[in-house]
């Protein structure tokens, strides 16, 4: 399982980012919302639309964290990722309520990865 941890993280991160982008109705190549499936595929793969410059560095750091998710250090990282995900989610919701802008772009590329790492940490914890 430990050899598959990082590829599973990549897959889950790509899928989660695509789902958030599609549900948040991110713009596609047409300049408007292109529909769920087209938007999902456009944002799930990190290179189109040049948003890879945000997601690829996040994936590199997340891969390093994911590789370290074992033993007592892994439990601490899992708690830190889970806590950071929860705080970031509350901030996104608060921004949405008070300013009308939920910063969902950042949610799709940073906050979701924290949740994915926390979920993987819970599954692989010793």
- Cα torsion 64, 109, 88, 15: sign: negative
Which positions ≥6 away from 27 have C-beta within 8 Å?
33
Q: What is the pLDDT of residue 21?
A: 83
Which H or E run includes 30? Answer: none
Question: 85: how many CB neighbours lie within 10 A of its CB?
Answer: 20
Which pTM value belongs to this model? 0.83
Residue 39 is encoded by which pair of tokens?
Answer: 């938007």
Which positions ≥6 away from 7 have C-beta within 8 Å?
none
**pLDDT over 70 at 50, yes or no:** no
**pLDDT over 90 at 53, yes or no:** no
């Amino acid at each position: 399982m430990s050899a598959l941890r990082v590829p599973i993280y990549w897959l889950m991160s790509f899928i989660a980012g695509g789902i958030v982008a599609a549900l948040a109705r991110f713009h596609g190549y047409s300049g408007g919302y292109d529909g769920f499936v087209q938007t999902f595929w456009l944002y799930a793969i990190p290179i189109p639309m040049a948003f890879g410059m945000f997601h690829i560095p996040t994936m590199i750091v997340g891969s390093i964290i994911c590789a370290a998710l074992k033993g007592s250090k892994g439990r601490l990282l899992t708690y830190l990722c889970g806590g950071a995900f929860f705080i970031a989610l509350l901030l996104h919701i608060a921004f949405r309520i008070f300013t009308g802008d939920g910063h969902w772009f950042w949610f799709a590329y940073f906050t979701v990865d924290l949740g994915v790492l926390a979920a993987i940490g819970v599954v692989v914890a010793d």
